[in-house]
């Protein structure tokens, strides 16, 4: 197959600045690498945190192409790659782990010990907001033949991270009261992944009215505009006593304080959002007896396989708004302004 020599790519070229759409060479795969024609790439709020970082905060060298939620079709491969991959549609597991360290051997690739600098696709290495994407190894691909790439792309981070969180709560959800803070890209998928659990009550929090409407449609029993109101709502219930699980997809000082206030004894706070908040993890202070606090990062390859399978059976379905690559900078601006419902997805 003949490939063009150059392609468009949305690159971060300076810290604290919006990315730029530039022309770059189409990479050529060698050894065990594969080249994907990008079918769709989701825009994550994390990209805004990355763009906004001052020089020196992120362990990444500039420039690199953004886009860590990617679905594509394998169009070229290095000589070490099994040719069965050619022509397959795949979801990219963006954590480009080493595959050899203890964390990788235990199937915890998202905590790979080798990832001390760039993390993977679109996070230090060139990502999928481009016509083509070079992936270092087929270990990072999950086959997803026949699925709509636009619905699939958000599952590779928003859905994957939500699945990782929900799986980590296995055994803690039955009969529990849960609160989801932030019903954006990640939160709206988490609500769907929580829905099959036998929860006593699921409350969603978002200041945006359209996000709250979406949350009700996706199975929330109640919605509030701020997390403090969720505490009141829960206390008014017959079995009150706060929430057994609080998943904070915002992570600002306000939401994390509210998460602590909401927590029931023996409850767990899962902080996913990177909003700069903190919480004092100290015994006998503000948090109730038996608390747990976790701050998971992305998800494992197995989580990605699971969430892709759940989408195939209709358990989870991303709400998406589609943009062209030229429109991506404007779409990021909309995401920043809180104007995206579900996930913004670029089709280059």
Binding residues vs ligand NAD (CB under 6 A): 44-46, 49, 157-158, 161, 181-187, 205-208, 211, 226-227, 249-252, 254-255, 272-275, 296-298, 335, 338
Residue nearest to Zn ion (CB): 44
* Shortest separation between residue 125's beta carbon and ligand NAD, angstroms: 17
89 binds Zn ion (CB under 5 A): no
Nearer to ligand NAD (CB atom), residue 215 or residue 311: 215
Query: What Å distances lie between residue 336 and 48, 115, 256, 314, CA to CA?
Result: 7, 28, 20, 29
Stretch binding Zn ion (CB under 5 A), from 23-31, 157-165, 203-211, 324-332: 157-165
Identify the H or E element spanning 103.
helix 102-105
Closest CA to 176 of 194, 154, 193, 162: 194
- Tell me the number of residues near Zn ion by CB under 5 A: 3
Closest CA to 264 of 169, 179, 206: 179
- The answer to whether the Cα torsion of 136, 139, 142, 143 is positive or negative is positive
303 binds Zn ion (CB under 5 A): no
Q: Do residues 156 and 71 make contact, with C-beta atoms less than 8 angstroms apart?
A: yes
Q: What are 345's two structure tokens? A: 């997805």
46 binds Zn ion (CB under 5 A): yes
* Shortest separation between residue 342's beta carbon and ligand NAD, angstroms: 8
In DSSP terms, 293 is beta-bridged to 269
Interaction partner, residue 126 (ligand NAD, Zn ion, none; CB < 5-8 Å by kind): none
Residue of the chain from 44, 191, 247, 272 that contacts Zn ion (CB under 5 A): 44
Identify the H or E element spanning 270.
strand 263-271
* Shortest separation between residue 260's beta carbon and Zn ion, angstroms: 25
* Shortest separation between residue 237's beta carbon and Zn ion, angstroms: 34
Nearer to ligand NAD (CB atom), residue 80 or residue 297: 297
Residue nearest to ligand NAD (CB): 184
* Shortest separation between residue 183's beta carbon and ligand NAD, angstroms: 5
157 binds Zn ion (CB under 5 A): yes
Nearer to ligand NAD (CB atom), residue 36 or residue 204: 204
Nearer to Zn ion (CB atom), residue 46 or residue 97: 46
In whole angstroms, give the CA distance from residue 115 to residue 125: 12
* Shortest separation between residue 68's beta carbon and Zn ion, angstroms: 5
Interaction partner, residue 92 (Zn ion, ligand NAD, none; CB < 5-8 Å by kind): none
Interaction partner, residue 186 (Zn ion, ligand NAD, none; CB < 5-8 Å by kind): ligand NAD
Stretch binding Zn ion (CB under 5 A), from 28-36, 39-47, 108-116, 145-153: 39-47
Other Cβ atoms within 10 Å of 49 Cβ, number: 15
* Shortest separation between residue 238's beta carbon and Zn ion, angstroms: 39
Closest CA to 162 of 126, 191, 132: 191
Nearer to Zn ion (CB atom), residue 42 or residue 242: 42
Dihedral, 195, 199, 200, 204 alpha carbons, nearest 10: -50
* Shortest separation between residue 82's beta carbon and ligand NAD, angstroms: 30
Query: What Å distances lie between residue 207 and 287, 313, 342, CA to CA?
Result: 25, 31, 14
| R_g over Cα of the chain | 20
* Helix (H) and strand (E) counts in the chain: 10, 18
Most distant CA pair in the chain: distance in Å? 67
Sequence-separated (6 or more) residues with CB below 8 Å from residue 17: 51
The site map against Zn ion for 116-155 (x = CB under 5 A) is: ----------------------------------------
In DSSP terms, 95 is beta-bridged to 120
In whole angstroms, give the CA distance from residue 323 to residue 321: 7
Q: Which residues bind Zn ion (CB under 5 A)?
A: 44, 46, 157
């Amino acid at each position: 197959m003949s490939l063009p020599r150059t392609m468009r790519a949305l690159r971060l070229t300076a810290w604290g600045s919006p990315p730029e759409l530039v022309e770059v060479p189409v990479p050529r795969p060698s050894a065990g690498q594969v080249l994907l024609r990008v079918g769709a790439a989701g825009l994550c709020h994390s990209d805004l945190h990355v763009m906004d970082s001052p020089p020196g905060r992120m362990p990444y060298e500039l420039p690199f192409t953004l886009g860590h939620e990617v679905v594509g079709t394998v169009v070229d491969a290095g000589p070490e790659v099994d040719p069965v991959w050619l022509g397959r549609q795949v979801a990219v597991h963006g954590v480009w782990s080493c595959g050899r360290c203890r964390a990788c051997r235990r199937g915890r690739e998202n905590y790979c010990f080798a990832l001390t600098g760039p993390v993977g696709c679109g996070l230090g290495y060139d990502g999928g907001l481009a016509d083509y994407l070079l992936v270092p190894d087929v270990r990072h691909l999950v086959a997803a033949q026949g699925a709509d790439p636009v619905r699939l792309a958000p599952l590779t981070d928003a859905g994957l991270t939500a699945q990782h969180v929900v799986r980590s709560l296995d055994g803690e959800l039955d009969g529990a009261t849960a609160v989801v803070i932030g019903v954006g890209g990640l939160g709206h998928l988490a609500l769907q992944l929580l829905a099959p659990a036998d929860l006593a009550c699921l409350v969603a929090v978002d200041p945006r009215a359209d996000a709250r409407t979406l949350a009700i449609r996706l199975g929330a029993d109640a919605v509030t505009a701020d997390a403090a109101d969720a505490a009141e709502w829960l206390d008014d219930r017959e079995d009150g006593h706060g929430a057994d699980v609080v998943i904070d997809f915002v992570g600002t000082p306000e939401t994390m304080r509210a998460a602590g206030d909401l927590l029931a004894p023996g409850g767990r706070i899962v902080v996913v959002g990177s909003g700069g908040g903190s919480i004092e993890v100290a015994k006998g202070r503000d948090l109730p007896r038996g608390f747990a606090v976790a701050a998971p990062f992305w998800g494992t390859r197995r989580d990605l396989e699971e969430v892709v399978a759940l989408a195939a059976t209709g358990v989870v379905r991303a709400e998406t708004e589609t943009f062209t690559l030229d429109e991506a900078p404007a779409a990021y601006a909309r995401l920043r302004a809180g104007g995206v419902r579900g996930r913004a997805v670029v089709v280059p």
